[in-house]
Amino acid sequence: MKKAAAALFVSFKAARAIPCARPLRRDFMIQSTLDPGVRRIDFHPAVALDDRLIRTDAILLHRDDGRYAVDFVDARLPEDPQGEGLLQIAFRQECAGIFAITAADVGREPRMSAAREVWRHSIIAVNANDRAEVLDALDREGPIPLRAFDGLVATSRDCEEVLYAMACEGSVHIDLSAGLDDGRAIVSGGSLGLRCRA
């Protein structure tokens, strides 16, 4: 029987697709992509240690406050149960530290559900007119609550869908910490907002 290929995660913050078959890692990658404090995501599949190659599948986050290796405490690889390979990568990449991430950290609500809802729109292509409407409103008004956009912009499709898709591409940022249900989540310009307007 042929083994199924691992799922790949693609993000505007990563230089290449990252293998991400496990749900915990996938949710973490989605949350990191939508987090404005994370500037870049790197992947290091393995490291040489004492004349042997150790598979690590290491994730490195380049954040506003430094570079960090991510230790998925509840889901370490059998090849690196003590995290030796991860520690070596963190040292070689001059990381500021290691983030110990548990399933409870990633599953914290309402952030996890909000991130999943936004990410469902990552495959939607945003047309130029809708993008311009949203970015112009943000230029005029500054950060805006999600529910206020309907009165400020005229988009060709549902405004929330446009905003979610733009968050997935980095054109806008949506604060997911309070969830999306009541529309109070604040939308602000994203890291790619200026580039998307050109």
Nearest partner of 76 among 25, 29, 17, judged by Cα: 25
Residues of the domain holding 137: 111-197
Nearest partner of 166 among 195, 19, 183, judged by Cα: 195
pLDDT string in tens for the chain (198-residue length): 444 445 899 999 999 999 998 999 999 999 999 999 999 999 999 998 888 898 999 999 999 999 999 999 988 888 888 888 999 999 999 999 999 999 999 999 999 999 999 999 999 999 999 999 999 999 999 999 999 998 999 999 999 999 999 999 999 999 999 899 999 999 999 876 444 443
- The answer as to whether 1 is a domain residue is no
Three-class SS of residue 38? strand
- The answer as to whether 102 is a domain residue is yes
| pLDDT, tens digit, 9 for 90 and up, residues 180-198 | 999 999 999 987 644 444 3
Residue 187 near residue 145 (C-beta atoms within 8 A)? yes
CATH number for the domain harbouring residue 190: 1.10.10
Tokens of 33: 């992509």
Same-domain check for residues 74 and 119:
no
- The answer as to whether 2 is a domain residue is no
Q: How far is CA 6 from CA 15, 18, 151, in A?
A: 18, 10, 43
- The answer as to whether 79 is a domain residue is yes
Q: Are strands 52-63 and 66-72 parallel, antiparallel or unpaired?
A: antiparallel
Same-domain check for residues 35 and 71:
yes
Which residue carries 């029987």 as its tokens? 1
Of 73, 106, 139, which marks where a domain is finished?
106
Same-domain check for residues 14 and 96:
yes
> How far apart, in whole angstroms, are the C-alpha atoms of residue 187 and residue 184?
9
pLDDT of residue 118: 98
| pLDDT, tens digit, 9 for 90 and up, residues 35-46 | 999 999 999 999
> How far apart, in whole angstroms, are the C-alpha atoms of residue 181 and residue 162?
17
Same-domain check for residues 169 and 193:
yes
Same-domain check for residues 22 and 98:
yes
Three-class SS of residue 107? coil
Q: DSSP character for 90?
A: H
pLDDT of residue 23: 92
Total domains in the fold of the chain:
2
Same-domain check for residues 121 and 186:
yes
HSE-up (13 A, CA, CB side) for residue 57: 20
Which residue carries 């495959």 as its tokens? 123
Same-domain check for residues 13 and 102:
yes
Tokens of 145: 């609550």
- The answer as to whether 174 is a domain residue is yes
pTM given for the model:
0.90
Of 77, 106, 135, which marks where a domain is finished?
106
- The answer as to whether 151 is a domain residue is yes
Three-class SS of residue 100? strand
Residue 59 near residue 83 (C-beta atoms within 8 A)? no
HSE-up (13 A, CA, CB side) for residue 176: 26
Same-domain check for residues 163 and 90:
no
